[in-house]
């Protein structure tokens, strides 16, 4: 099965480092991040999960729950978490799914046979409260993810859902945003009281509405 943007993220039930989890129940009405890693006890993954753990408060600010996955078992996950906590100076609190039969990996297309027939790739999905997939990003096994970028995209998605805007290249929270082409400049000036700057009829900026 191939998951695409706008698809409903499939539900599943699985064992994890925190016990048996129903994915939908775990997410509730929150945003979610589901990310796969190739294997336990590997160096790049250790740094990734450690950094993700350190961002826990940032995810909580954004009403976002994080959950990881690999094809290793629960015992490996639990023992590896001890290593992550020790080496990365953190405390991993989010669950790591045990997917030894690869059913969830196949459901979410985390196994790429030309890269590896046994390990998952570094895929990450952002899932909104309606369980729709809003971001899919995949890295090679040798390259650690940039979780600062994940937070940036999460901020953008939550902003554009709350306000009729788009975010430009390299946008950071608090910077000007773009007025979409579907909105006329005259109407934009009515709904964006902070002002609209027109560079071209199709390229217009306004200060971020919620700051």
Residues involved in catalysis: 45
First-last CA distance in the chain: 40
User: Cα torsion for 122, 157, 5, 39, to the nearest 10°?
Assistant: 10
In the chain, % helix, strand, coil (3-state, to 5) comes to 30, 20, 45
CA distances from 91 to 44, 50, 55, 83 (A): 17, 8, 11, 10
Please give the structure tokens belonging to residue 61: 């600010």
**98: enclosing H helix or E strand:** strand 96-98
């Amino acid at each position: 099965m191939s998951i695409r943007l706008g698809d409903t993220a499939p539900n599943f039930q699985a064992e994890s480092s925190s016990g048996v989890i129903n994915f939908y129940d775990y997410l509730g009405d929150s945003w979610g991040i589901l990310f796969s890693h190739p294997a336990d006890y590997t160096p790049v993954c250790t740094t990734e999960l450690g950094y993700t753990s350190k961002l826990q408060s940032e995810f909580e600010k954004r009403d976002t729950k994080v959950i990881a996955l690999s094809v290793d078992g629960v015992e490996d996950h639990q023992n590896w978490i001890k290593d992550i906590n020790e080496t990365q100076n953190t405390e991993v609190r989010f669950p790591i799914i045990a997917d030894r039969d690869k059913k969830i990996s196949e459901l979410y297309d985390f196994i790429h046979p030309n890269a590896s027939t046994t390990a998952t790739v570094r895929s990450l999905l952002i899932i909104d409260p309606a369980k729709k997939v809003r971001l899919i990003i995949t890295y090679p096994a040798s390259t650690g993810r940039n979780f600062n970028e994940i937070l940036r995209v999460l901020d953008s998605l939550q902003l554009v859902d709350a306000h009729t805007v788009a975010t430009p290249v390299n946008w950071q929270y608090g910077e000007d945003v773009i007025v979409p082409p579907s909105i006329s400049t005259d109407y934009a000036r009515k709904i964006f009281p902070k002002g609209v700057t027109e560079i071209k009829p199709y390229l217009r900026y306004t200060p971020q509405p919620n700051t």
